[in-house]
Amino acid sequence: MTLSLKEVTKRFGNHTAVDHLSLEIPEKEMFGFLGGNGAGKTTTFRMILGLLDITEGEISWNGESIGYNKSHLIGYLPEERGLYPKLKVRDQIIYLGKLRGMTKQEAITELKWWLDRLKVPEYLDKKVEELSKGNQQKIQFISAVIHKPKLLILDEPFSGLDPVNVEMLKKAVVELKEQGTSIVFSSHRMEHVEELCEHLCILHKGKQVVHGSLRDIKRSFGKKNLVIHAEFPLDFLQDHAGVVKYKALTDGCELQIENEDVSQTIFAELQGKGFIRKFDLEEPSLNDIFIEKVGASYE
């Protein structure tokens, strides 16, 4: 089932939070939704879920609009975490599961499975307020996926978790995807998006500035990164034709170059100058792309 947004616009008074956003989010895929702070990510999610009315445009899922009659097919992990502090994990999940169309028995079975899966089975009868923030997050994650949604929206799912737990949740997310859940995923951690998503878009001040598959985005970006470690000074490369950015490292430098060909002229130039430990032509990282696309307007 594809989720499609057509020319979606949301205005709050004079302020345009989302500006003519068009997206196709393919089925059974993880879609990266990036953007700086206040770019309109959460607003878009809220519109997809129907929490906010759309000013203009159309959102459809498999050709149908999303309403409360589909809430059992949708899972949502909001950026602002929230559970009932005084309620036990069991009661909490049963309640939220029921609201997503589960029976009490189903909810308990699934909850136990997930608690085991996330290695916290002892929390079943604990109150949420007794758990650490990271563990509350796990429970929150369970509440978003307990009913096996077809469409899962994760707003910053890994913030506030330690690296071990990040890996654990990542694995769980990938498994869900493999089982056929379409996932829309927002994060400020570019390496997570790079690792998990095939398609992505970058939002900036409500406008979409980048959109497509990760590979295409990187390829069309053109610029490459070049890392050189050498035992002689490299600062002369700063003024070399085709070098966009120069960053000195302790034992060499990192360059951003206009295209692959530049690396070859640099390679030729370095010959005979001394011992070269490393000469590495890399794809640009998503981080570079993000900073260029979004950061440009900050400068």
Partner 1 sequence: MNKFWIILSHTYTTRLKTKSFLISTIISLLFIFAIANIQTIIDAFSDDSSEKIAVLDESGELFGPLKANVENIEEDIALVAFDGTVEEGKKAVQDEDYQALVTLALNENQLPEATYYANTITEAGIQTAMEEQLQQLKISAATQQAGIDQEKLAEIYAPVTFETVALDKSAKTGEELSQARGIVYVMLFLLYITVMVYGQMIAQDVATEKSSRVMEILISSVSPVTQMFAKIVGIALLGLTQIVLIIGVGYALITAKQDELTGGMFKYFGIEGASLSLFVYAIVFFVLGYLLYATLAATLGSLVSRIEDVQQLMMPMMFLVVAAFMIAMYGLNAPDASFVKISSYIPFFSPMLMFLRVGMLDVPTWEVALSLGILIATILLLALFGAKVYKGGVLMYGNSGTLKDMKKAMKLAKKE
Binding site for partner 1 (CB under 8 A): 11-13, 46, 49-55, 68, 71-72, 74, 76, 78, 80-85, 87, 91, 95-96, 98-100, 143-144
Judged by CB, which is closer to partner 1: 111, or 266?
111
| 49 in Cβ contact with 26 (< 8 Å) | no
Residues 6+ apart with CB under 8 A from 86: 127, 128, 129
Residue closer to partner 1, measured from CB, 53 or 178: 53
| Min dist. Cβ of residue 102 to partner 1 (A) | 10
In the DSSP assignment, the letter for residue 283 is P
**Amino acid found at 33:** F
Q: How far is the CB of 70 from partner 1 (least distance, A)?
A: 10
| Minimum CB distance to partner 1 smaller for 80 or for 235 | 80
- Least separation in angstroms between CB 88 and partner 1: 10
Q: Which is nearer to partner 1, 26 or 50 (CB)?
A: 50
DSSP per-residue string spanning 123-175: GTTSBGGGS-HHHHHHHHHHHHHTT--SEEEEESTTTT--HHHHHHHHHHHHH
Minimum CB distance to partner 1, residue 49 (Å) = 5
Q: How far is CA 254 from CA 156, 225, 228, 251, in A?
A: 30, 7, 6, 10
Nearer to partner 1, 85 or 222 (CB): 85
CB of 86 to partner 1, least distance (A): 8
